[in-house]
Every structure is written in structure tokens, then in C-alpha cells.
Structure 1
Amino acid sequence: MGFPLLFLCLMGLMIPAAAGAEEAGPAVEPLRLELRLQRARVYPRVPVPVTVTLMVRDAQLRGIGYPRLSHRSLHLGEFSLPAKRELVLEGAAYTAYDFTALVSARQSGSYRLGPAELEAELLSPASGAAAFFGAVESTPVALESQPITLTVLPVPMRGRPDGFSGAVGRFTVSVSVRPREVSAGDPVTVRSVIRGEGAEREFSCPPIEARGFRGYPPVEGKGAGELVCEQLLVPESAGAAEIPPVRISFFDPTAGRFGIAQSEALPLKVRPAAAAVLSDRSDKSDKSDRSDKSDKSDKSDKSDKSDKSDKSDKSDLQRSFWPALSVLAALAAAAWLRRRRRVTPPSEEQRQRWLVAARSAHACGDVGAFYGAAFRLLQRVGGERQGLPAAGWTGPLPEGAFGPELQESLAALLALCDRVRYGQEMPQPERMAADLLLLEKAGGLQRQGKKFDIE
């Protein structure tokens, strides 16, 4: 009887212990690593935050490294500094450390992201005699998360606006021009700014084409969420002009539809060039002189009639005096007008001054100053050949003004001056040396002592 009684007592003690172990459930992991996306479905080139979370419970770590994330065919940015927070997972309290980065894909499709990996050192009390002094031991640990899937949706084909280049996001565009009032042949700067997240990646600078303007290639400037385009336009004739609106199209992933942003058209006042103003003044002078002569003629006729009615007894010599005087006055007025219509050409000293400036700029390697001086010199030579003031001549070179070979070379140099001054082109030193020799020939040309009339 003693043995069965002892057996029953032992069984009674073991049953509560087993029940307690069953109630405690599975052991809680002290370290966990998880990977999650803020959104699992996005559009191409739209960045989405991805977070790697290290969870620690009742453990000490040191030497925690940044996570590594497998992301084939995806663009992944740098992870941020870890953000600490407290959380409860499956009834257990953890201290969590969040590492966040941005991930995006250029093409639509389904992408595998992860697993994420992280290495650290787990600290535990030392064994043996070292434990008496509070020493600890470190054990390397490597944690790995489960992979996740990122779905990149294609941009819809239906409803795409004209000119859509694939930009995804939400953007605005603004345009300004300066100055707003110029003379024909003088350049204006058109500045277009596209703003929005990723604007510097999604757009390029297309050239603005405006009727009545000569355009040069735009220059790009990129910043965070901003694309700046600056372009030079040169009005070719006087009158009211307009810079056309700049229009961009994009797909708005938040709204799930296409959008269009467009700037306002900008009016521009273009004055006549200097040569046209001079010609206009000459025409006004002609009209004024003709009016004066007409008034004089009317007065002379009235005077003749009065003389005939009141003094019929005057001699033939007296009656012919006034017509002769009118003829002399008309001849004097014509001679005065002809002198007014003549333009004195620039002096040799002025041409040599720009030639010296070109030589100095070439010696210093200053491309902008060299081709600026070259343009001024060609402007004076071209003005002389056409009988125009230098400020009123903008090209092209008159046909037959020079020999065939020199004519073609100077025309090419004149076009290059415009590309350097307005299009940011940078010729090589060898080209500058050849152009300097060409300027020496052009600057040394002498006029044959004749004057030129403005037609």
C-alpha cells in the first residue's frame, strides 16, 4: 500500500506544474526583424517608404549595423537613422528601432523586396569567475526578415494627353520674361520653372518656339523638386509680340488620372531697330519739308494773284522774281535733305579698337569677351558695307560684299558669335585662333572713301 500511495502523491504534484507550463504558451523571441511597405501598390517612379524594424525584448545589443535589403531592379535610397519606439506584439512588450528608406521602380510589374538582413552583438553575463565582477560576453547574431512584394501599376493608356512624356506626380509650371520691352534684334530671356516632387527627373527643357522670334537652345538648372529652363529669344521685327504658353502633362497617382499645367501667354512690346528708327525719322523729315514747300507755294500763288490784281503795272522782271526764288529754295532744300540722308561710316580707329579687344580676349582665353568683340567688329564692317550705323545692323552680310571665300567664312563666324553669346557654346582654342586671323582680315579692310545712302 505504501508504494501506490507515494505514486499518487507524485502525480498530484506534477499535474499543476504541467498545467502551468501549458498556460505559459510558447517562448517569446527576444529578437525579431520585420520588413514592411507603406503602400504595396504604386505607379512607376513614385517613391514609397519601406521600413526595417528591429524589435528587442529582455536583451542587450551593441554594434548594431544598418540593415541590408535585397532590391534587384528597384531603386533604393539610404536608410535613415533609427527611430526608437515601444510596441506590444502578441502580448509581449518590445523596444523597436525603425530604419526607413524610399524605394521606387521605373517600370510596371511585380517586384520581390527583401529579405532584410541585420547584424549585431548580443550581450549576456559572463560565466565562471568573470561573472563575479559583472563582466559580459558578446555573441554575434544575424537577423533576417521575410521578403515582401511591391506591385508597380502601369500608367493607363486611355486618356493620355498630347505630349505626355511619362511624368508621374503632381506639378506646376510658371514662365517669366525679361525685359518686356525691347528693340528688334535684341534678345529677351524666357525663364520657365516646373515644380513638384521629382520634377528634375520627370521633365526636360523643350525649346520654346515663338512666331517672329529666333530661338537658341535652353539651359537647364536642377534642384530638389524643381527644374529651371532659361532660353534666349530674339525678336526679328517690330510690333506687338507674344511668348506662347508653356504646357506640361503628367499622371497624378493620388487622383488616378492625367493632369495638365499651363502658364499664361506673355505679351512683349518690340520697338523698331535703330536703323529703322533712323529711316522713319528721315521719312518724317521728307514729309515735313514737302509740307513746308507746299505752304510756301500756296502763299506764293496767293501773293502772285494779289500782285496781279493790285499791281498790274509791274515790269516782267518783277513778275519773274518770285518763281525764280522758289526754284532756288527748292534746290537748297533738296541739297539739305541729301546731306541729312547720308551716314558717315565708322572710322578706322573704331574698327581697330574692337580688333585690339578681340586680341586681348584671345590672349587671356576669355571666350565670351572674344566673340563679343568679334561681333562688334563684324557689326561695324557689315554696317559700312550697307551704309548703316553699326548699332542698326544685325546681319546677314550683304551678298558680294567680300570675296566668295571670305564672305562664307565671315558669315559662319557671325553665326558662331550668336551661338556663343546666346547659346552658351564654347569653341576650342584652335577655333578661336583661326577666327582671330579671320578678324584680322576683316578689320583691315578699308573703305574706298565713298559714302553710303540709306535706301
Structure 2
Amino acid sequence: MNRLIALSLLFLFAVGAHAQRAVATLDRSTVAVGEGVGFSIACENFQPSNTPRLPFIPGLRIAGAGSGRSFQLGGGQQTSTLTYNFLITPNKTGTYTLPALSIPSREGVFKTQALKLRVVAADSNEKKGGISEYAFMRLVVGKNTAYVGEPIPVEIQLFLQNGRYSPPELTAEGFNMSDYPEPKSSRAQRGNSIFQVRTFQTAATPVKAGQLQIGPATMDVVLKIRQNQRRRSQFNDPFEGLLTRYQDVPAKLEAKAHNITVKPLPTEGRPAGFNGAVGQFTMAAKASPLEVTVGDPVTVNIQLSGQGAVDSLNLPKLEWPGFKSYEPSISSENADPLGLSGTKVFEQVIIPENDTLTEVPKIELAYFNPEEEEYQTMSQGPFPLKVNPSARPVSIPNANTSQSGDSGAEDAPQRSDIVWIKYDLGTLGQATPLVSRPTFWLLQSIPFLLWIGALVWRRKSEAIAGNPRLLRKRQVNQRTREGMGRLEQLADENLALEFYTELAELLREQLGLHLDIPAEGITADVVDGPLGQAQIEPDTRDTLRRLFTASDAASYAASQSTAELRASLADLEQVIHELN
């Protein structure tokens, strides 16, 4: 038994030691002066010898924000992550480089990657009073000058204390815009206020030259603003003011436009094979096999990597003299959600048509490098190739054939022109008739069985449609199954506001089904009402009140830990079990 335990621990240690690395991340890559941004260093599957620290960087105020450890077990692997958190507050504009850090440990030295932090001046609209105290938005454009076909990264940042929002709308005439991936979530502190930040990313690719604009960006939000209670109760209630009231205030946020100077691609020095690729790219290519027979295929693998519009990369029309070629198969892999960096692979099959070929031709691709402001050409090959002649068929003489072809023809039997009539069916007459075979009747019964199944399904559907309570129960159960899965995901991501919004909807659906009342408008008051006291157990009512209170508190202010969200999820599962 001890040996088995030791082997298990050894296996877990070996799995846990897999994929040791150090990863540095920023909450956002662009912030305003005076706005805090989170920076974290994740140490996966190793323990640092000392606490990592960022060096002094002029213009940035860096403070530690604690550390935490998490464990993850999945796919046969165990991952232990120790995360060190920092708060970076810039005090002047500019682009800062957070250097790569070397983190020593007993297993060796692990190095993080360097990161860029862009600090911009705060918009004057962000400093005004009124709505901007509760929400504002910012449009961040990666560069103000670009060439036609050069992708420009764009961010729309929404700062919201409390409330709901709709997807942003961005005006960008003269640009091709990519779709928004899932927005990133983070938090930011401005003065004494904490904002929830949603960052929407996209890429704008100019299609014409001139003075263009990206923006303005607009967004519809519904703010939850605390009501000022100026009138006091005539009964001098000592609990007055403990319960805060909020009101929904719709608002439209706007971020000003950015002017972009788009320059045309130069005509001087443009290669003849240039097909519009703009960016910074590298090429790797190989051909295999390099020894074939005439008619055998050779696969040419061409891999293009770099920064730019990777999905729009295309090879120029390649010439394959002496080869028969086919359309290449194409696959791509993006290194970021916007597709501004990654790899695109072309697999071209060519077939040599003669044995005089000695090489696979050279492959070239011309592109424009906006950083160097010049055309550049990548090339690979030529690749040496050995082509063997194809094998020729050899006739094999027949030993039974006589030396004289005429005598063989004379020995062959003569074909008769008359075929006699057969009076019996032979083996065909001994076959079992079709109607006597079991498979025949089995196939004939299939339509009847399908008709019976359709009839039963229709009767069941009519019975459900005629019983509104049964139909509502099925719908609520379906909604609950989907909602529980979503709550699991929101708890793992620690999204407290979305978690409790979904939880409150499930509570209302379950209570409406149990009390046979409409789900809309159900609150904690219904639990203590006549229906709730008559049909719900006291312990269950206590749990319901606790869940409604947590939902109200989460929708108006604070965030909670994953453990607290898991506890609320367990209470919800208990309530659903007791109500059903």
C-alpha cells in the first residue's frame, strides 16, 4: 500500500512539474495619466526564491497589491500558480517598457516577457462632473499615421461604476473594421472611485489614402445612481438611511474622433510580384520528398509568419515549369484575437512530368514594411530534387503459346451461333421467394412503426399544450439547467454582477412556478407574504431572503470572491431541490 501511495505521489509531482514558466500580464495596454492599471506576474509550477520586483521606472508609481495562489487540475495535469500583483499609476504621458524579469528558483531561472504600456492624456470630458462621475468611455487608436492596407489596433474602453451597457458603435469611413472579440474585464481607480472597465478591441485597415477619421464612438448605458434622501421620516426611524435606494438613469456616452493620416503605398521600387501584403513577415519553406519518380507528388510547405493582416496574406502566382500543380491548401493560426499577428501555411502539391528536372523552383514573396517604409522580398529555395524515370511495363511471354500464332488460332474452339433453350431455372429456381424472407416484412414494418411513433409524439405534445402548468414546469426546468451551467462559468471567472443577475432570474422563475404566480416582479417581499408563508418552509424562506439580499447588494456595489459565489450557488441548488 505504501508503495502504491509513493508511486501516486511521484506521478503527481511529475505532472505538476510540467510546463514551468513565468508570465507577466497587464490589465490594459493603454491608460490615462493618474489612472491605476494592474500588473501581475504568474509563476506556474515553481516557487520563486524571493519576491519579484519591478525596477524604478521614471514616470510610473509602482506599488505591491498582494499575492495569491491557485490550483487547477484538468486533462491529467495539475497546475499550481503563484501570482504577484502590482498597481501601476503613471503621472505623465508616454510609452513605457516594463522590462523582462528574471525570477530565480531552485529549479532554475525563469524569465518573463517585456510589455509595453501606453499612457495618454485624460480627455477633458472625463474630468467634468455629472454623468462622467459614474461612467465615461475612451477611444484609443494605436497610431495616427499609417499606410493603405496597414492594420491599426483600436480600443474602446468603457468605465462604469454601476449599471448596464450596450455594444459600442464606431464610425470609421474609409476603413475595414474587424469584428469585436469578447471584451476584456478589469478594474481601475480614479481618485476615490472604483470603475469596472470593459475593453472592446478591433482593427481598422485603411482602404484609401488621405486625411481620415476613426470615431466618434458612442455607447448606450443605464446607470444605477444613488438617490439622495433629503426628507426624514416623521417617526424618527433609527434604521432610516441604512437601505440605499438607486434609480436607473439612461445615458449616451461618446468618445471623440481621432484624425488619421493615411499615406498611399509608394510606386517607386515596387516589385513586379507585389500583391498588396503590408506588415513585417518572415518565410520558411521546405519540399519533401526530394527523390521521386516521374508522376510522384512533391509537397511544398510554405509558412508565412509575422505582424500585419495575416489572414489576407496570399502567395503570388507561382510558376512551376516542368511540374503539374494543384491549388494549395491553406491554414492559418492567429496569435492574437484581432488577427494582427500569427502564421499562415500553404501546402502546394506539384508532380514532376519528366526526369530532367533537378530542383524545385525558388519561392518569392514581396511585401511593404511600414516600419522601414520600403518594399522587401522574402525568398526560399531552390530545393535540389532527384527525379527517377518511371518504370516501363515488360511483356511476359506465355509458355503455353505455340511459336506460330496461326496454329494457336486454329486450335481455339469455334464459337457456336445457336444457343439451346433451357427448360429449368437451375439455381434461380431454388431461391427463397421475397415474401417468405423475414427481412422483407421487417422493412415493410418500418413505415408503420414510424407512424406509431409520430402519433405518440403528437398526442404527448397536445397533452403538454393543454396543460399550461406542465408546460411551464418543462420550460422552467430547461431554463434552470442552462442557467446553472452559466452560473458555474461566471463563478469561475469571478464576474459577481453577471452572476447575481442570472441567479436572481432563476430564483424568480422557481418561485413563480412553485407559487403559481408570474415570475416578473418577484422580490424578497413575496417570500414573506401569505403565499410564501403558506407554501414555503421557514428554512427555505431564510435561504431565499439571503440570496435576494446578496443579489441586490452585488448589483449596486461590490465584488465578491469566487468562494462566496460558490457558496451562493450551493444555496441556490438547495433551494431548487426543496421547492421541487
TM-score (norm 1): 0.48
Structure of greater Rg: 1
> Which protein has the bigger helix share?
1
> Which protein has the bigger strand share?
2
- Larger RCO (CA under 8 A, 6+ residues apart): 1
